[in-house]
Structure 1
Amino acid sequence: MRTDRRSPIDTKAFDTKAFGAEAFDTEAADPDAGWLATVMHVAFFVLLCSSLTRYLIVHPGARTTPWVIILAIVLALLYVLGPVLGPQQADGRGAPPSTASRFWLAAVIGVWFTLVVLAPSFGWCVVPLLYTSLRSLRTRSAIVLVGLITLCVVAAQLKLRLRFGFDPNLMFAPFAGAAVATAVFLYSQRQADRLRTVILDLVRTRRELAATERREGTLAERQRLSMEIHDTLAQGLSSQQMLLQAADRLWDTDPVAARRHIRTAESIAEHNLAEARRFVHDLAPADLAGGGDLADALRTLAERESSDTLRVLFHQDGTPATALPDRVQAALLRIAQGALANIREHADAGTAAVTLSHLDDQVVLDIADDGRGFDPALSREQAVRGHGLPAMRARVRQLGGALTIESTPGEGTVLTAVIPLSPRP
């Protein structure tokens, strides 16, 4: 059984040996995170340049101008080092950022804070820095840092504009904006974490399902192999053993009959060899090869199974409107082989009849004998332990059919296999 169906989830983004959160590749699983970070980085440098340009235009020749320029350059250089020193993505509940990333973030915030004190217009850089802080720190630390950054911006703006009077928007709007931005970011991050967990569960379930299907396929293949071997090679070897034992007993008293048994055993061995070769190549039964139909194969089987002690007759009732499916023909032939082998070994019968009936919506195979019979209720446990009847039931069940056995001690046995056929259009 093959299980190569492709899932829409790309499992390359996940570790092949573990399914923990640390195995999740954020950029591979969420390509949007990459362009969002790029937008924030570009926005930071645009705001930094525009703030520096505004300062130079509004405060030409100021004493703090060289310091502002130097600090702006230092801030840009520190920000460029972010991919090297800063964490790619911090988990709100996972491991803390490294020491290098903490120092990097502290340096960036410190230089930016100094710039805001010297030139409040650099407060516009706060939005990308808020995003960087939220990405770099765990949730509680990030919220505290966002609050301090927002407080710094408000203080700088108030110092700049106190001469114009108290402005409530200037006092409260930055906090409200920072709170909204932080809430949206944290909400999106937690939604992403939930989605990540769902994807990991889906991948784990998919792999477990694939493993289960492989196990089921292995078991089904083992069952198929056991049925094929039991119904072909094992039955043939059993027949050869019985014929050779009979020849050995008659060799001195009736050499003609002994040779006849040996020739029959040789014929069975030849047939078994053909079955084995076709079995290895996963082909149809030898009796069905060469374009023969099921009726011809059953007739050949009846002739081959007939002997001095057992006479096997074949009869066909009705004709099929269309050719039976190959798998139905193969299954019914194997059932007939197994049933006749059981009759030969256990029934002590003189006559057996194989009847193939074609009805409108089903095909029926009956194998009857006049042997010693048995009590099906008392023999059920023995049948389960054996291979013949369970193999027959499995073949019929795979085709959606039913197998029934009617027997009475001393009155023979009738085995019936009914296979439904797909309705013709």
Structure 2
Amino acid sequence: MYISGSDGEDTTEQGDGWLRILLYVAFLLLLGSALARFLIRHTGENLAPWVVSLAVALAVLYLLDPLLGRRPTTLRHIWLGTVVAVWMALVWLAPSFGWCAVPLFIIGLRTLRPPAAIALIALVTATSVTAHLRLSGRLDVDVVLAPPAIAAIAVAVFVQMDRQSRRQRELIDDLIRTRRELAATERREGILAERQRLSMEIHDSLAQGLSSQQMLLQASDRVWDTDPATARTHVRTATAIAEHNLTEARRFVHDLAPADLADGKNLDHALRTLADRETGDRLTVLCHIDGAPTSPLPDRVQSTLLRIAQGALANVREHSGATTAALTLTYLDDQVVLDVSDNGHGFDPTTTHPDDTPTRGPRGHGLPAIRTRTHQLGGTLTIESLPNEGTVLSAAIPLAATTT
């Protein structure tokens, strides 16, 4: 009785191993007691050498069981037939060896299919009854009924144990299958989470920088002939943004903090740097810091708020048509709040899908990414906007939860 799979196989083999050891010990005890009884009662008889030789041969044959494996091969069938033949010869010479039949029942049930196993049990039981009747010389009810009763009990016990073993194997198979399915689900969820993280990082850093470069180069192309100085300024600014994007890409590959937070820079400095970098011909970005943190913000909180600011400004620049935007970072006792406001044409937040994507226009990633980042830190995101009246995006991160 075994199953494939490391855990199930180990568990079943351990339980089956104890049963095998118990059967070996019981068989050897029965065989030894029958041999001792025969030698005590029949000392000096000519049959003694034969009985001793057959008993030793039967013990050796029985102990070969582990070497033959568990599968019902031809070699195992030959071995079982030899064991039964030697036992029948012993029983014919000394009927007291008939008590060794019970372990043979178990071997037969484990090796043969049910019809053949039942036939073997019937043959062994009939041999034991015949030998005892021949020895007693008269019809004894106990001798006739006891071996079949013992055979029936042995078969019933084995069938019940085999049924429980099958149920255990099925349960272990179900557990192994469930564990594999759970592992596959976790892998899929991990892949999806990593894809989401990559998309947010690309949108808030690389895509934003590329968009800024495109706008600067387009502006430079428009004034290239009429105002070369302004064109060169735009090109230099685009070059600086490209250099910053390259740094972001390298840190992004190595899963490091944003470049604006490197070298010990804090969130206040990073937001001011971001505002200066985003300020151009068409958009002016202001930065306000209200209050001061009672303790340094965790790195994850600073990175998240900076990415939210980058994503929000990317939406302002690409979709709002605003000329002025403001970043406001407010430190409160129990939370830190980042507000991003603009004077653009706004939109109606009630006309967005559950994933924050507007019902009209191309499907975006900005607002869903911002909301996901906020929720990952246990924060709340609020968006207030009306058509032609600008937009205010507010992300509040609780400090107690992020510190814990």
Q: For the superposition of Structure 1 and Structure 2, which TM-score range results when normalised by the shorter chain?
A: 0.7 to 0.9
C-alpha distance in structure 2 between counterparts of 1:145 and 1:421, whole Å: 77
Alignment of 1:107-146 (within 5 A): 107-139=82-114, 141-146=116-121
CA positional deviation for 1:285: 0.6
Q: CA deviation at 1:242?
A: 0.9
Give the corresponding residue for 1:401.
Answer: 379
Q: Where in structure 2 are the equivalents of 1:96-111 lying within 5 Å?
A: 97-111=72-86
Aligned counterpart, 1:72: 55
Q: Which residue matches 1:331?
A: 304
- Counterparts of 1:171-182 in structure 2 under 5 Å? 171-182=144-155
1:216-270 CA-to-partner distances (Å, cap 9, x unmatched) read 1111111111111111111111111111111121122112221221221122122
- Give, in angstroms, the shift of residue 167 of structure 1: 6.0
Does 1:411 find its partner at 2:389?
yes
1:157 is aligned, of 111, 129, 132, to 132
- 1:44 is aligned to 27
Question: Quick check: 392-401 or 61-70, which moved more?
Answer: 61-70
Measured in 2, the distance between the counterparts of 1:393 and 1:35 equals 59
Aligned with 2:233 (options 254, 260, 273): 260
Report what 1:360 is aligned to. 333
- Residues 267-310 of structure 1 show CA distances to partners (whole Å, capped at 9, x for unaligned) of 21221122112112111111111222222211221122112332
The reply to whether residue 272 of structure 1 matches residue 254 of structure 2 is no
Q: Per the alignment, in what secondary structure is the counterpart of residue 226 of structure 1? A: helix
Alignment-derived partner of residue 219 in structure 2: 246
Structure 1 residue runs without a partner (length 5+):
1-12, 17-22, 90-96
In the alignment, which residue of structure 2 is the partner of 1:10? none
Following the alignment from structure 1 to structure 2, what is the Cα–Cα distance between the partners of residues 359 and 248? 46
**Alpha-carbon offset, residue 28 of structure 1:** 6.7
| Alpha-carbon contact 1:338-1:388 (below 8 Å) kept | yes
Q: Relative to structure 2, which stretch is displaced further, 117-126 or 145-154?
A: 145-154
Secondary structure in 2 aligned to 1:385?
coil
Q: Give me the whole-angstrom Cα distance separating, in 1, the residues matched to 2:315 and 2:22.
A: 79
Distance 1:203 1:250, change over 3 A: same
Deviation, structure 1 residue 321: 2.5
Which of 70, 76, 99 is 1:88 aligned to? 70
What is the CA–CA distance in structure 2 between the aligned matches of 1:104 and 1:214, rounded to whole Å?
A: 49
The residue number in structure 2 matching 1:237 is: 210
TM-score normalised over the length of structure 1? 0.83
Q: Does 1:420 align with 2:398?
A: yes
Tell me which amino acid in the other structure corresponds to 2:96. S
Deviates further, 271-280 or 100-109: 100-109
CA contact (8 A) 1:373 1:413 kept: yes
Contact 1:78 1:108 in 2 (8 A): yes
1:31 pairs with one of 2, 7, 14: 14
User: How far apart, in 2, do the equivalents of 1:138 and 1:361 lie?
Assistant: 73
Comparing 202-211 with 345-354, which one deviates more in the overlay? 345-354
C-alpha distance 53-263 of structure 1, shift in aligned 2 (>3 A): same
Instruction: From the superposition, tell whether residues 304 and 125 of structure 1 become closer, same or farther in structure 2 (CA, over 3 Å).
Output: same
CA drift of 1:314 comes to 1.3
| 1:160-309 equivalence runs, <5 A | 160-161=135-136, 166=140, 168=142, 170-309=143-282
* 329 and 14 in structure 1: CA distance in 2 versus 1, 3 angstrom threshold: farther
Q: Using the alignment, how far apart are the partners of 2:200 and 2:225 within structure 1?
A: 38
Deviation at 1:369, TM superposition (A): 0.8
Contact 2:47 2:93 in 1 (8 A): yes
Distance verdict in 2 for CA 1:41–1:315, change over 3 Å:
same
User: Matched residues in 1 for 2:311 and 2:37: separation?
Assistant: 96
Greater displacement, 304-313 / 369-378: 369-378
Matches of 1:41 and 1:272 in 2, distance apart?
75
Structure 2 gaps of 5+ residues are 353-357
Distance 1:395 1:190 in 2: 53
Q: Equivalent residue of 1:381, what SS?
A: coil
Deviates more, 1:230-239 or 1:100-109: 100-109
Does the aligned pair in 1 maintain the 2:345–2:389 contact within 8 Å?
yes
TM-score, normalising length from structure 2? 0.87
RMSD between superposed Cα atoms in Å = 2.9
SS of equivalent to 1:222: helix
> Displacement, 1:161?
3.6
The answer on whether the counterparts of 2:330 and 2:337 sit within 8 Å (CA) in structure 1 is: yes
Shift of 1:382: 4.3
1:55 to 22, 38, 51: 38
Shift of 1:397: 2.5
- Cross-structure match for 2:355: none
- CA drift of 1:24 comes to 6.5
